[in-house]
Amino acid sequence: MSGRKLWNKEGVKINRRNLFLLLFCLLLAICALLSACGKKGQPTLASYEKPAPPSGLSAIHRGSEILLSWEFPKDKEPALKGFYLMRSSGGDFEKLSFLENDKRSYTDTTFKTGTIYKYKIVAVNLRGIIGKDSNIITLTPGIPPPPPGKVSFKVGRDSLLLSWESAGTGILYNVYKSYEKGVYSLIPLNKQPLAETSFADQLDTKKVVYYTIRSLMGYAWRDEGNASEEIKIDPSEFIPSSPENLKAVATQESVYLTWKEPPEDWVTGYKVYRKIEGEKDFKFIAETPIPSFIDKEAPLTKRNYRVTALGPSREGAPAEIDGVIFIEQR
């Protein structure tokens, strides 16, 4: 049987033993293919290319920190291992830190004031290939000025006026605003550093707002000092002024009340109270959005009126008028 010959489709004789070897080799090839599943493919030419350089490297000196930030396309992150932040203080650039591929900022606390520093950042891909340098920035951090003192505010008609005490001759200021206590952006409200010790902002009557002020020397990297005390502006605490020039005109059927509006634009309306002669206390009778009201209860007996202005959640001091009564003219 072992020497028996087989024929293939082309009529070529095949030995049974050779056929077994052929099938065995085919089985090994299939196993090799299966075991190769899931393995990484061959490296592409792109994986050996240098990554693009980060851009827009900038620095802010604030107190005991130099805050560095840069830009890099989000869609190119998967090909990156990360970034090398480099620093020089007169000699060659040295690696200051390695940062992961999703980072765009770094805080340097290992510097000395009065020393000239240069910074740059480079990207490194997954194969360890380092890209070209970013822009290079140079700065000499100085001694930051002290924070301004006695920060206060005044609520106006439609604005909020912040004021503070000078921190010294030639000092400039930046104003920062936040809706979260203690958390502030690096971008100040003012477009240019302020030489004066006050700043007017648009009044927000719907949210609690926080402010802080920083002194600075005004260089390109700011040289900002520590933050001033934090000021909290809570609209629920706004109290409007008292209405002025409250007047009453009594007729046989009703009383017409008018008054001058308070100066604040954030007044939401008015409350009207009445106390008829013989009653002990004023009673609330109406709320009106305009500076006038008609009391349709005939003024046959003397009565007093009280009007208050309404803020976002509180009412102000009252205006009053006494002894209102209709007297028929003869």
> Residue 201's domain is classified under what CATH number?
2.60.40.10
36 in any annotated domain = no
The count of structural domains within the chain is 3
Two structure tokens written together for 89: 């203080």
Q: Does the residue 194 lie in any domain?
A: yes
Residue 38 belongs to some domain of the structure: no
Helix, strand, or coil (residue 291): coil
Do 230 and 251 fall into the same domain? no
Residues in the chain: 330
Q: Is residue 84 part of a domain?
A: yes
- Domain check: are 74 and 123 in the same one? yes
Does residue 254 lie in a domain region? yes
Q: What pLDDT is recorded for position 218?
A: 85
pLDDT tens by residue, 294-312: 999 999 999 999 999 998 8
Rounded Cα distance, 284 and 102, in Å: 61
Inside any domain, residue 216 = yes
Lowest mean pLDDT among 22-26, 46-50, 136-140: 22-26
pTM (2 decimals)?
Answer: 0.70
Of 34 and 287, the structure prediction assigns the larger pLDDT to 287
pLDDT in tens, 116-143: 999 999 999 999 999 999 999 999 999 9
Number of Cβ atoms within 10 Å of the Cβ of 85: 23
Query: Which residue range(s) make up the domain with 214?
Result: 149-235
pLDDT of residue 39: 47
Q: Is the pLDDT of residue 10 over 60?
A: no
> Does any domain span residue 153?
yes
Statement to judge: residues 84 and 115 lie in one domain? yes
pLDDT reading at 248 higher than 70 = yes
What is the distance between the terminal CA atoms of the chain, rounded to a whole angstrom? 148
- Single out the residue in 191, 208, 235 at which a domain terminates: 235
